[in-house]
Chain A
Amino acid sequence: YQTFDGDLKWDHNDITYRIVNYSPDMESSLIDDAFARAFNVWSQVTPLTFTRLFDGTADIMISFGKADHGDPYPFDGKDGLLAHAYPPGEGVQGDAHFDDDEFWTLGKGPVVKTRYGNANGALCHFPFTFEGRSYTTCTTEGRTDNLPWCGTTADYDKDKEYGFCPSELLYTFGGNADGAECVFPFTFLGEEYDSCTTEGRSDGYRWCATTSNFDKDKKFGFCPTRDTAVIGGNSEGEPCHFPFVFLGKKYSSCTSEGRGDGKLWCGTTDNYDDDKKWGFCPDKGYSLFLVAAHEFGHALGLDHSNIRDALMYPMYSYVEKFPLHKDDIEGIQYLYGPKTGPDPTPPQPRTTTTPFPDDKSEATKPTTTTTTSPVDPTKDACKLGSFDTITVIEGELHFFKDGHYWKISSRNGESVMGPFSISERWPALPAVIDSAFEDLQTKKMYFFSGARFWVYTGKNVLGPRSIEKLGLPNTIQKVEGALQRGKGKVLLFSGENFWRLDVKAQKIDAGYPRYTDVVFGGVPNDAHDVFQYKGHMYFCRERFYWRMNSRRQVDRVGYVKYDLLKC
């Protein structure tokens, strides 16, 4: 292994990173996941931790760009250079740049995450069968609205599971239109456009207006790449047109003719000779995870290795297994030392006398069941890394963790009080509470744990009931957060989705679930506590919170421990 001259390294172990923009090749959640996994490769063997920031300057700023992208090292179109990163330090140092003229995948061809449909956002299954015919790409067959779709199992005819594929007719990303779909035709600088365009931009990214008149409304978003679209060339986003004519000859598939580099290309109109419109054919692409893991190695202080199987070897090759070689591990541990301490373990369920929930036993009853652990006064909320849930009860912020809770009261100078035993105040509840909220109209307390919920009215309790009774799908393992939205409406969060509960009707409203990242852009998709406090919405992940104002702008990212618990 090699390190940079002077053994450049970070002077702290809690590294932050920020994803500045996204590639149109993959759904943003897949990109987030690839980067998170790439960081995890390094955090598994060092004491380093990686925390994602959503605004401001992070140690490692990650961006996609094409050709000249703002630093002295331009990219070179498809293939060749894939990415680069700078060694640790201030400013551009530590940053990682990815060439968006590449086709970014997970290394084995297009990765198409669906939206809507009935497959809960599953990936397309290629090939899939529809009406007896096999499809290896998304298709508009069987639809009249021209929306591309795919089967998410091998046999749509049998399983009927499907979702919609990335398309500008369905959504955009980035821009300022909250992911709204393109509106065609739209007017830009007095001209009318019937498809996404790169006009008006110097970075080569395709965009569209999300109203019929950009000049007036200034609303726009970037167009996601369809799985059938060509890469690069001068027709990015268009599908191949088969057959097409090149030098007077007809081609019905991609060809390398006319090129010295052997790359497959196609015409995107029926005649290349007349129109000169072309692009490279989609291939397996490059694994964003593997390339990112390599680049993050640079961002942490590793230079190129000359061991062919090492992750830090300069050439790309696809591997499925854990990508770190002994040489990489020795290199990074030379800089930061080995990982110390045990891996975090999930809290063990406590012994409880509460019977397993039975919907037949739904009745308001004084309860006699309890958790049995005594309160340990030495338990310090300031020493806890994260909480099971955080919520406001009677105007006081409550922090729940493993059978106990703490509270912060402005009446008490905003100092932490507790620990208190959950079982003493709410005897029916289990030790681990995933989410809770107080219905502001009735003052009833709703508690969620796993797939069950309880409703406390004073000392009387109803439940446990199954969350399916509220209309939540049985695939949900837990409700992770709750936000009060006006009178009698509460948003319930789980995974990447949220639902709106009509508290009075005790039913989920129609039109849900919705994607959290579409409505609440800039907060972690995997927040484990979501709550409302003093007019702000808080999304917590591990020991950090993202605070969002009523205009849904993230206006602060901070530590739960210091800012909320006042430790």
Chain B
Amino acid sequence: WSHPIKSTFVTFPGDIIKNKTDSELAESYLKKFGYLNTEQRSGFQSMVSTGKALKRMQRQMGLEETGELDKATLEAMKQPRCGVPDVAN
């Protein structure tokens, strides 16, 4: 009776929220809120690294600055929030 339940995920019609992997979620979060962006300065484009972006996000959220996509960071990314980017672009 203690067999683990094997969940089947389905795609719900009309659902805007798509099932994403953790790294997909993190990447879209970091981009959406301005942590991971392409900065344009004097014609030079540089991509901020994901680790640096994660650290910046962790600092903003008052989390431990590990630069890793740890459980606490992932949980924070799933919380309901304001849509205004944390880092201005």
Residues of A participating in the B interface, judged by any CB pair closer than 8 Å? 4-5, 67, 73, 75-85, 99, 101, 232-234, 247, 257-261, 265, 276, 278, 286, 291, 294-295, 298, 303-304, 306-308, 314-316
Contact = CB atoms under 8 A, between A and B. Distances in A.
A259 B81 contact: no
When A and B form their complex, which 7 residue pairs have the shortest distance between CB atoms, in order from nearest?
Answer: A77-B16, A234-B14, A84-B83, A81-B83, A316-B80, A260-B19, A258-B10
Given A78-B17, A80-B80, 18 more contacts: A73-B83, A76-B17, A80-B17, A83-B83, A99-B83, A234-B14, A258-B10, A258-B12, A261-B19, A261-B78, A291-B82, A298-B82, A304-B82, A314-B33, A314-B81, A314-B86, A315-B79, A316-B79
A78 B61 CA distance: 22
B83 A82 contact: yes
Contacts of A247: 8, 10
Contact of B60 (A79, A101, A304): A304
Contacts of A307: 62
B82 A314 contact: yes
B12 A278 contact: yes
A314 B17 CA distance: 20
B13 interface: yes
Interface of B: 7-10, 12-17, 19, 33, 59-62, 76, 78-84, 86, 88
A259 B12 contact: yes
Nearest to A316: B80
7 contacts: A78-B17, A81-B80, A81-B82, A83-B83, A233-B12, A261-B19, A306-B59
B36 to A, nearest CB: 16
A304 B13 CA distance: 34
Given A80-B17, A258-B7, A315-B61, A304 B84 contact: yes
A233 B80 contact: no
A421 B13 CA distance: 71
A294 B82 contact: yes
Nearest to B59: A306
A148 to B, nearest CB: 25
A260 B84 CA distance: 26
A310 B13 CA distance: 38
B88 to A, nearest CB: 6
Nearest to B10: A258
Nearest to B85: A304
A257 B7 contact: yes
Contact of A81 (B14, B62, B78, B81): B81
A99 B80 CA distance: 12
B69 to A, nearest CB: 17
Nearest to B88: A5
Contacts of B13: 234, 276, 278
Contact of B82 (A83, A232, A308): A83
A167 to B, nearest CB: 23
A424 to B, nearest CB: 58
Given A78-B17, A101-B16, A306-B60, A314 B10 contact: no
Counting chain A CB atoms within 10 Å of each CB, the highest count among B14, B82, B88 belongs to B82
A67 to B, nearest CB: 6
A283 B8 CA distance: 24
A471 to B, nearest CB: 49
A286 B12 contact: no
Contact of A260 (B9, B14, B59, B76): B9
B17 A298 contact: no
B84 A84 contact: yes
Nearest to A277: B13
A82 B81 contact: yes
A315 B81 contact: yes
B82 A76 contact: no
A259 B81 CA distance: 21
Nearest to A304: B86
Contacts of A314: 33, 60-61, 81-82, 84, 86
A502 to B, nearest CB: 53
Nearest to B14: A234
A83 B81 CA distance: 8
Contact of A4 (B8, B81, B88): B88
Contacts of A75: 83
A102 to B, nearest CB: 8
A311 B62 CA distance: 15
B82 A82 contact: yes
A295 B82 contact: yes
A260 B7 CA distance: 9
A146 B33 CA distance: 47
A258 B9 contact: yes
A80 B80 CA distance: 4
Given A233-B12, A265-B12, A306-B59, A315 B76 contact: yes
B7 A77 contact: no
A544 to B, nearest CB: 30
B73 to A, nearest CB: 13
A82 B82 CA distance: 6
A101 B79 CA distance: 16
A315 B76 CA distance: 8
Nearest to A294: B82
